[in-house]
Structure 1
Amino acid sequence: MINNYVISLESATERREHIKKEFEEKNISFEFFDAISPTVELINIYLPNINKSTLTKGEKGCLLSHFLLWKKCIENNFDYIAIFEDDVILSEDANKFLSQIDWLNERFNTQDNIIIKLETFLQPVKVSESNITSYYNKNFLNLETIHFGTAGYIITYQVAKYLVNILSSMKDNEFKPADWIIFEQMHINSKNKIYQVSPAICVQEQQINRENSKLSSQLEKERKLNIKYTKKTIIEKVIYKLHKPIRIIKKINHLKDKVKIPFYYKGKKYD
């Protein structure tokens, strides 16, 4: 059985009810992991270097919560740990992946640095075919660019050790949000293998209910408030318009060879 953990604030009653329903309907066992409210005292105990970083309070709490689950994986000597956030929606076949461990052992070596991204953020990403055998019509693709979101992923014990060591030695100006560290920083070391499940096994509720999300992300609200908008001068406006063709070309090149990882839910395809 896979050790499934869901990060959730103890006070987040609506989100906890949502996630209980998601996992119980699919007959998947899991445990709540109480999300960390990043007080200076707690940060000084677990990850003191993050205190002076430019991350928002929510980003610090998110990163610290994931960090403590990685440590839990190490302390309990888990071969794998599956980590979720409390706003995910699971695919109908999630049970085949989250209630059994045989498919993992048949395809991956627990001694390797393996990350398996279960989630899709419905953003264009670059992937390529791997030599990993598909399972229940889902492919394990090589993830070659960052794919935002930390709402659903599996890591091996070796990756947990790697991530804990990386974060413990980071300087305050090197810290980035959790998804950047997991799905971007990990590419630096060629020993780390990052796979994307496609179609995805989970998605954040707000990604498929953008207009009427019941579980909107406080973290996203913080990130938007953290962006400082400055009024452009007339010259800056002119330059901005003149550079529009260049921006369009850059956008086309940026999206070239990228695809969105789909998610199927109640007979509908989201991509």
Structure 2
Amino acid sequence: MSGFFHYVISAPNAHERRETVLANFKAHGLEPQFFEAVMGNKLPSEKLKNMKVDTGFMSLGEVGCILSHLGIYKKLLKSHEPYVFIFEDDSYLTDLFFEDLPEIQSFMESHTDPVVLILYKTVAHTHPVIYKSGRPFILRTLGGTASHGYVINRKAAENMLRVQSPPRMEIDAWAQYYKLNLLNIYCTENRLVHLDEKTAQESIIDKIAPRIEKDRAYVKKNKAATHERIL
């Protein structure tokens, strides 16, 4: 089958994860394009200071995760491509993903507004906008969690880079980006990209620094401040 513009975020030494990704792609006659993950614990203290990252809100692992995704957005904007598929190395592309790929590409090509398409059904409120074979296929949604498989177009990438320079909130805070009018969120009815439970449990982000148990009041205050700075 023909290729598609994508990156798989992968830590430099995550050899077993890379082998799993390679096997998954090669089963469909494709070579994955890897993007070397930014390791938060390797960031110079001076860079963290200049970015004014709130490490009481995000762990170093989460900061590295954000910077990795932003790095791909920059790759997109330097290319002539209209959108990019982004996967993390604990994801698994299903046969159905490849079956639906032409329709997904057609959907992304039809939008000039800022769009993110999450490649699994979110738990937020949804309503169908595209049907396939008489059944819901692509849905409009108000939010979502996780970032192991999605597509983002140029306009949405531009907006995300603007709001996340420096990093202010988790990369998968989709509902917050929607509230800030930075992008429109869609998802697929079917789970086209699975999260590999085994590798997800061995999170490299958590090995860098445990995720912070965040006080809800503090999180709310932080995001409110972010809204004020952006708006």
Structure 2 residue aligned with 1:154:
151
RMSD: 3.1
- Offset of residue 179 of structure 1: 0.6
**TM-score after normalising by structure 2:** 0.77
Structure 1 residue aligned with 2:19:
17
SS for the counterpart of 1:33 is strand
State how far apart, in whole Å, the 1-side matches of 2:208 and 2:43 are. 19
Cα distance change of structure 1 residues 40 and 59 upon mapping to structure 2, 3 Å threshold: same
| 2:194 is equivalent to residue 203 of structure 1 | yes
Cα distance change of structure 1 residues 135 and 115 upon mapping to structure 2, 3 Å threshold: farther
State how far apart, in whole Å, the 1-side matches of 2:6 and 2:24 are. 13
Structure 1 residue runs without a partner (length 5+): 207-212, 230-271
| Code of the aligned partner of 1:195 | Y
The CA deviation string for residues 87-116 of structure 1, in whole angstroms up to 9 with x for no partner, is 112222222344x4x652356434221110
Question: What is the percentage of aligned positions where both structures have the same residue?
Answer: 22
Query: Which 4+ stretches in 1 moved above 4 angstroms?
Result: 135-138, 220-225
| Code of the aligned partner of 2:35 | F
| 2:114 is equivalent to residue 113 of structure 1 | yes
- Offset of residue 76 of structure 1: 1.3
State how far apart, in whole Å, the 1-side matches of 2:5 and 2:135 are. 23
The CA deviation string for residues 15-48 of structure 1, in whole angstroms up to 9 with x for no partner, is 0011111111133443000101133439839x94
Structure 2 residue aligned with 1:128:
127
Structure 2 residue aligned with 1:141:
139
SS for the counterpart of 2:132 is coil
Cα distance change of structure 1 residues 50 and 3 upon mapping to structure 2, 3 Å threshold: farther
The CA deviation string for residues 226-269 of structure 1, in whole angstroms up to 9 with x for no partner, is 3389xxxxxxxxxxxxxxxxxxxxxxxxxxxxxxxxxxxxxxxx
| 2:211 is equivalent to residue 218 of structure 1 | no
- Does the aligned pair in 2 maintain the 1:50–1:60 contact within 8 Å? no
Cα distance change of structure 1 residues 12 and 106 upon mapping to structure 2, 3 Å threshold: closer
Structure 2 residue aligned with 1:266:
none
Structure 2 residue aligned with 1:167:
164
Structure 2 residue aligned with 1:93:
96
- Offset of residue 215 of structure 1: 4.7
- Does the aligned pair in 1 maintain the 2:17–2:199 contact within 8 Å? no
State how far apart, in whole Å, the 1-side matches of 2:188 and 2:13 are. 31
SS for the counterpart of 1:200 is coil
**TM-score after normalising by structure 1:** 0.67
| 2:77 is equivalent to residue 74 of structure 1 | yes
Cα distance change of structure 1 residues 228 and 111 upon mapping to structure 2, 3 Å threshold: closer
| 1:228-243 map, 5 Å | none
State how far apart, in whole Å, the 1-side matches of 2:211 and 2:107 are. 45
- Does the aligned pair in 2 maintain the 1:4–1:29 contact within 8 Å? no
Structure 2 residue runs without a partner (length 5+): 216-231
State the structure with more CA Rg. Answer: 1
The CA deviation string for residues 134-172 of structure 1, in whole angstroms up to 9 with x for no partner, is 379661011123x2110000011111111111112x5x7
- Offset of residue 178 of structure 1: 1.1
